[in-house]
Amino acid sequence: MTAQNQTPVTAESLQSEITRHLKLSLGKDPKHASLYDWRMSLSLALRDQVVEPWFASTRQTYEGKHKRVYYLSMEFLIGRLIEDVTINLDVEGVAVEAMSALGQDYYTVVANEPDAALGNGGLGRLAACFMDSLATLAIPAYGYGIRYEHGLFEQHFENGQQTETAEGWLAQRHVWEFERPEVAYNIHFGGYVSDEGGKAHWHPAETVLASAYDTPVVGWKGKWANTLRLWAAKPVKLFDLDSFNRGDYVGANAPERLARTISRVLYPDDTTQDGKELRLKQEYFFTSASIKDLLRRFLSEGNKIEDLPNHVAIQLNDTHPAIAGPELVRLLIDKHDLSEEAAIDTARQCLAYTNHTLLPEALESWPEDLFARILPRHHRIIQMIQERHLQQTGSHVRIIEHGNVKMGELAFVMAHHVNGVSALHSELVKETVFSDLHAAYPDRILNQTNGITPRRWLYSCNPALRGLINDTIGTAWHTDLEQLQDLNAHLDDASFQQAFRAAKATNKDRMAKWLKDRNGITLDTSAMFDIQIKRIHEYKRQHMNILETIALWNEIRDNPTANWTPRVKIFGGKAAPGYALAKSIIHLINDVAATINNDPVTKDLLQVVYPENYNVSMAEILIPASDLSEQISTAGKEASGTGNMKLSLNGSPTIGTLDGANVEIREHVGAENFFLFGLTAQEADAKRGEHGYSRRAIESSPVLSRVLGQIAAGVFSAGDRYRYSDILHNLYEHDYFLLSCDFDEYFAKQREVDAVYQDVPRWTRMAAANTAGMGWFSSDRTIRGYAKDIWGTASVI
């Protein structure tokens, strides 16, 4: 049965299902039900609607013997699910009505759901968007990851400084998942390898159980549903009864403690990959379980192992699951008796790898001794893979070098295709990190520019704009986002413009109310909302934005009666807990906010706000309300960006550099609708070769010198002259990310933004042209590209 011939959901039927769950699943009398109870009952009633399409999709895949995609990712940054499901099932109106008949406000219930924050940032959110598109396009697929007990930490500000506490999304029951105790694999670590009868035998020292939890992921109109299978680590032996009987109660729990550590917490550091044994174990844990699971499924269908590449496409989301190559080779040789050569060939035909960064500190490598200790059999297999690669290509690029196992090189050598995530990034992948491997395998690298799911990032989060678009060009864009270009015919139409502004005003009001309720802060909604939301990182240059804010504050104070454009500067984002400079930048933003927001001279013209704990749900409120999108990374450093796409799609022009997907966004929305500034990637590289470039740039910029002088004098730190010496020292002496060199042009471009914003028809036209031009950035387009160029799969309906 498919979703189409399922009985349609009505407000009455949903209402009775919610009541039924409230009584029978929650054991609550409606009279005494809490918000939590209502949320659980609504979720369960909705989940029921997903089950039939889910079964039907699985059945169809089995029956049609369709090739399946396996998306292996350490991170799935999903966010909330109620709204996602009601939108995809097209029952939002029905749900609102049903809840209201029960005396509940649907949106209050939706907001009660904690975010599933199983990711750090762009990479994890991309995986979530891809799952949505795979389901919408009806491509049989599994997402494989880890069911972390604690997702990304919660961020708090204490005296303007970031502190972190553990996140606890599983403290309440996660109703969307189905536990599968029968789907479990032993995952081994450590020990040694012996050779017996010409075969290698791994004698592991430690074993944990990987136990599956499945969440259905339903696509548009419920026509197809795939599975997100997350692995939880459990002890093989529940409890050490001998220790307990001896009175050693702590020791008795040791097996459980050891196992659970593996899936306890998401790795929050996106700056360095220092030799953390736990991280390597996490990577092997979920990768091995996933490979074993997909092999079991494949063999259960009566297939021959040589046929694997015709049925299985494995995508590695960055190098975190790169151990998939050696693991698959190991199983093919040790368990399925393939020759080394056949095993490597077969594995390679299944595997593809996506690179998300060029930053050397973010490229994974493991000390060889640690690696060999944890995974002795894989260590040997990697040596074998390396030998064959060196012999076959004559390349000098080694996977193991200077005592390190390099996961990028491993993933590259074991993949049939390697892709970057924007046109510029993919070219830089060829020219920089993998230039030598590219020479050895010239057809391997290709590009798949990232995308975003329009279901969550327009349709669901921006009902005001959704309604206007429907009224203006109809609804064909729901399944083909490129239809948004039909809006181009209306850009100069005064009534369309007025309605577009009204939609933006609605979203700004919604955000202002949200912030007022949350933090007691009042926003001037007639001011320009200028937004930078993303992880805090030097290369993303939030510090350039806050220095520009100080410079603007100075100018306004110098000349308070000039015709200024009122602005609210909005920041959102977390710093990795161990990343000191990023934390200093957060502190500086909060210090500057405290000073500027209390200045009576500028209070109606400039405001800085930084709501703590930025996450997917906050993004869904901020993005539709944005007037200006800050995408100001040093050219060549942001692989793609996806927030840039969300903001532009929601009618917020970009001020940005020629970096990552900004380049393609500018091409699609038109150069006249994009505020471009800054060095190009090539110019940036050349600049770094000039001795003393940053000091020279600072000294030749009176605006920047003055700002840095104020920070050095303690203007924003109650007279403390040393609070920001790390940032200042970095800028004067080093400035690898070239803030000093781009600053003046950035400042000037912002003043151009001020002027254009005052020209209301011109600004509205620009903002709407952004929406009209962004259809290409749907993750449906991206997934079609992967399916065609990499996986060799297609939609099955």
Q: Which sequence positions are flagged as catalytic?
A: 356, 534-535, 540, 642, 646
| Minimum CB–partner distance for residue 421 and ligand F58 (Å) | 4
| Minimum CB–partner distance for residue 670 and ligand F58 (Å) | 22
| Minimum CB–partner distance for residue 101 and ligand F58 (Å) | 42
519: nearest Cα among 426, 432, 613, 450: 613
For residues 129-146, one letter each, b for 16 or more C-beta atoms within 10 angstroms of the residue's C-beta and e for the rest, the string is bbbbbbbbbbbbbbbbbb
Which span (14-22, 119-127, 239-247, 516-524) binds ligand F58, by CB under 6 A?
A: 119-127
CB closer to ligand F58 out of 114 and 119? 119
Please give the angle made by the CA atoms of 349, 143 and 573, to the nearest 5 degrees. 115
User: In the window 354-373, what residues touch ligand F58 (CB under 6 A)?
Assistant: 356-357, 362
590, 631, 642, 652: which one contacts ligand F58 (CB under 6 A)?
642
- Can residue 121 be called a binding residue for ligand F58 (CB under 6 A)? yes
- Can residue 639 be called a binding residue for ligand F58 (CB under 6 A)? yes
| Minimum CB–partner distance for residue 342 and ligand F58 (Å) | 33
Report how far residue 507's alpha carbon sits from residue 432's, in angstroms, rounded to the nearest whole number.
42
Strands 654-656 and 675-676: parallel
CB closer to ligand F58 out of 69 and 344? 69
CB closer to ligand F58 out of 37 and 132? 132
Contacts of 563 (CB under 8 A, 6+ apart): 758
- Reported as type and span, the H/E element at residue 312 is strand 312-317
Hey, what amino acid is at 14?
L
| Minimum CB–partner distance for residue 16 and ligand F58 (Å) | 43
Strands 606-609 and 567-572: parallel
- Can residue 636 be called a binding residue for ligand F58 (CB under 6 A)? no
- Can residue 641 be called a binding residue for ligand F58 (CB under 6 A)? yes
Hey, what amino acid is at 540?
K
HEC assignment per residue over 720-750:
CCCCCHHHHHHHHHCCCCCHHHHHHHHHHHH
CB closer to ligand F58 out of 136 and 419? 419
- Can residue 420 be called a binding residue for ligand F58 (CB under 6 A)? no
Cα pseudo-dihedral 594, 600, 604, 605, rounded to 10? -70
CB closer to ligand F58 out of 542 and 642? 642
The owner of tokens 């197809």 is 224
| Minimum CB–partner distance for residue 502 and ligand F58 (Å) | 32
| Minimum CB–partner distance for residue 17 and ligand F58 (Å) | 38
Using CB under 6 A as the criterion, what x/- string covers residues 731-760 for binding ligand F58? ------------------------------
Answer yes or no: are the C-beta atoms of 777 and 640 closer than 8 Å: no
Q: What stretches of 639-738 show up as alpha helix (H) in DSSP? A: 643-649, 662-669, 681-688, 693-699, 702-712, 725-733
Which span (116-124, 256-264, 330-338, 392-400) binds ligand F58, by CB under 6 A?
A: 116-124
Which span (250-258, 517-525, 640-648, 722-730) binds ligand F58, by CB under 6 A?
A: 640-648
226: nearest Cα among 56, 65, 352: 56
Which span (393-401, 499-507, 632-640, 675-683) binds ligand F58, by CB under 6 A?
A: 632-640
**How many residues at the interface with ligand F58, by CB under 6 A?**
17
CB closer to ligand F58 out of 527 and 639? 639
| Minimum CB–partner distance for residue 44 and ligand F58 (Å) | 32
The owner of tokens 């998300």 is 356
Which span (11-19, 115-123, 142-150, 491-499) binds ligand F58, by CB under 6 A?
A: 115-123
For residues 48-67, one letter each, b for 16 or more C-beta atoms within 10 angstroms of the residue's C-beta and e for the rest, the string is ebbebbbebbeebbeeeebb
DSSP state for residue 539 in the 8-state scheme: G
| Minimum CB–partner distance for residue 123 and ligand F58 (Å) | 3
Which span (42-50, 88-96, 114-122, 615-623) binds ligand F58, by CB under 6 A?
A: 114-122
Report how far residue 392's alpha carbon sits from residue 733's, in angstroms, rounded to the nearest whole number.
46
- Chain-centroid distance of CA 592 in Å reads 29
9, 14, 109, 123: which one contacts ligand F58 (CB under 6 A)?
123
Burial of 351 (0-12, 13-18, 19+ CB in 10 A): buried
Report how far residue 673's alpha carbon sits from residue 660's, in angstroms, rounded to the nearest whole number.
18
User: Mapping DSSP to helix (H, G, I), strand (E, B) and coil, where does residue 204 land?
Assistant: coil
| Minimum CB–partner distance for residue 471 and ligand F58 (Å) | 33
CB closer to ligand F58 out of 385 and 684? 684
Please give the order of strands across the beta sheet that includes 567-572: 606-609, 567-572, 528-533, 628-631, 654-656, 675-676
| Minimum CB–partner distance for residue 743 and ligand F58 (Å) | 22
723: nearest Cα among 569, 606, 592: 592
| Closest residue to ligand F58: CB criterion | 122
- Can residue 660 be called a binding residue for ligand F58 (CB under 6 A)? yes
133, 287, 450, 506: which one contacts ligand F58 (CB under 6 A)?
450
Within 10 A of 71 (CB to CB), how many other CB atoms are there? 27
120, 227, 263, 542: which one contacts ligand F58 (CB under 6 A)?
120
Report how far residue 92's alpha carbon sits from residue 98's, in angstroms, rounded to the nearest whole number.
10
The owner of tokens 């169809």 is 60
- Can residue 678 be called a binding residue for ligand F58 (CB under 6 A)? no
Report how far residue 153's alpha carbon sits from residue 117's, in angstroms, rounded to the nearest whole number.
9
17, 149, 638, 664: which one contacts ligand F58 (CB under 6 A)?
638
104, 640, 740, 782: which one contacts ligand F58 (CB under 6 A)?
640
Report how far residue 512's alpha carbon sits from residue 607's, in angstroms, rounded to the nearest whole number.
13
User: In the window 47-106, what residues touch ligand F58 (CB under 6 A)?
Assistant: none
CB closer to ligand F58 out of 216 and 321? 321
94, 312, 421, 741: which one contacts ligand F58 (CB under 6 A)?
421
CB closer to ligand F58 out of 450 and 565? 450
17, 115, 270, 530: which one contacts ligand F58 (CB under 6 A)?
270
Task: Copy the structure tokens of residue 231.
Answer: 């692995």
Identify each DSSP E strand in 471-602 by its residue range. 528-533, 567-572
Which span (85-93, 117-125, 189-197, 231-239) binds ligand F58, by CB under 6 A?
A: 117-125
Give backbone dihedrals phi and psi of 371, rounded to 5 degrees, phi first: -60, -45
Give backbone dihedrals phi and psi of 506, rounded to 5 degrees, phi first: -60, -45
| Minimum CB–partner distance for residue 322 and ligand F58 (Å) | 13
- Can residue 448 be called a binding residue for ligand F58 (CB under 6 A)? no
CB closer to ligand F58 out of 92 and 270? 270
CB closer to ligand F58 out of 122 and 611? 122
| Minimum CB–partner distance for residue 147 and ligand F58 (Å) | 17
Using CB under 6 A as the criterion, what x/- string covers residues 153-192 for binding ligand F58? ----------------------------------------
Which string of DSSP letters, residue by residue, matches 462-483?
-HHHHHHHHHHH-SGGGT-GGG
Give backbone dihedrals phi and psi of 425, rounded to 5 degrees, phi first: -60, -45
CB closer to ligand F58 out of 122 and 145? 122
CB closer to ligand F58 out of 109 and 774? 774
Report how far residue 445's alpha carbon sits from residue 439's, in angstroms, rounded to the nearest whole number.
10
Question: Can you give the binding site for ligand F58, defined by CB under 6 A?
Answer: 120-123, 126, 270, 356-357, 362, 421, 450, 638-642, 660
